[in-house]
Every structure is written in C-alpha cells, then in structure tokens.
Amino acid sequence: MRATLSIFITGLALAGAISVARAEEAEILQKPDPAAILDIAKGFGSARIDKDDNGDPMISGRIEGVKYVIYFYGCEDHDNCKSLQFSTGYANPLSAEQANAWNEKYRWVKAYSGDGSNFKMDVSFAGGITRANLEEQFSNWGSMAGNIKDFVNGR
C-alpha cells in the first residue's frame, strides 16, 4: 500500500513539473518586451540593447557571424510596442533582380533593393505569441544568416 501511494505521489509530482514546464513554454507575450527579447537574443549570440533615432528600443546583435538589428515598431511613448523587425544591411545595394531572386527562393526573410542590400523579417505580436514561437523566430533568422552572407558574397 505504501509503495502504491509513493508511486502515486511521485506521479503527481512529475505531472505537476511537466505542467509547469508546459505553462512556461506557453507563456503568451502580448507585446515585445525589450528585456525579454534581449534575453532571447543573447541565447543566439552577442546582443545589446540601445535606442533608435526615434528613442524606441533597439537591439543590436550578431548571429552566425552576421550583424543584425531588431527594431521595435508601433510603440507608444517608446513603450508598448506592437511588432519587431529583424534587419541586416550591406554597403553595396542589391539590384531589384537580385532582391527578386532571393525572394523567390526564401520565404521568411525578405530582400530589398536600394539603400544597401537589406534583409528583413517581421514579427507581429497581434493576439500574442508564445516565448517558444519567438525563440523559433530567432532560430529562423539565425538559420538564414549564413544564406544571407553567401548570397551577398556570391553576387
């Protein structure tokens, strides 16, 4: 009887631990909190927080050897922002044909011609997203960093 009770209690404890882990994974972020974004960014490489020219939060980092910036958009008084944009750029602009070639091949990160070869990926927080989903966005950006570098170097 004691063994059965002990197994039952152990099972309840394990179920509780799994539920807590799932609740943490399912934490819904309603807005891009700069401190939370910075924390996630540091898990993928170097990163620091700063402010953009408008005074809104901005994170600068390096992932897979590629420098990038995360801009915060839709902010109210430099807070309560609505979305993020990952961005990286190079001194030599892409032509429209080069940007189109990239965009035909890749889905998540888009290339833009003019003003340097810019690659951007938007993340909306409309309706909230989980921390796990946000980490996946960083993973997507990181997996594309090498492709960006190869594409720019191979022109």
Answer yes or no: do 58 and 119 share one domain.
yes
The two tokens of residue 84 are 């993020």
Answer yes or no: do 10 and 82 share one domain.
no
Residues in the chain: 155
Domain range enclosing 85: 31-153
> Which one, of 128, 124, 126, lies nearest residue 30 by Cα?
128
Count of domains observed in the chain: 2
We report the CATH number of the domain holding residue 93 as: 3.30.1460.10
Per-position pLDDT tens, the chain of length 155: 656 655 655 555 555 545 444 545 578 888 999 999 999 999 999 999 999 999 999 999 999 889 999 999 999 999 899 999 999 998 888 999 999 999 999 999 999 998 777 999 999 999 999 999 999 999 999 999 999 999 988 85
Answer yes or no: do 37 and 111 share one domain.
yes
Answer yes or no: do 22 and 52 share one domain.
no
Integer Cα distance of 98 and 55 in angstroms: 33
Biggest CA–CA distance in the chain, Å, is 76
Answer yes or no: do 23 and 35 share one domain.
no
pLDDT of residue 21: 47
Answer yes or no: do 8 and 45 share one domain.
no
pLDDT of residue 20: 47
Answer yes or no: do 44 and 107 share one domain.
yes
Answer yes or no: do 66 and 1 share one domain.
no
Answer yes or no: do 14 and 85 share one domain.
no
Answer yes or no: do 40 and 8 share one domain.
no
Answer yes or no: do 87 and 14 share one domain.
no
Helix (H, G, I), strand (E, B) or coil at 128: coil
Answer yes or no: do 83 and 149 share one domain.
yes
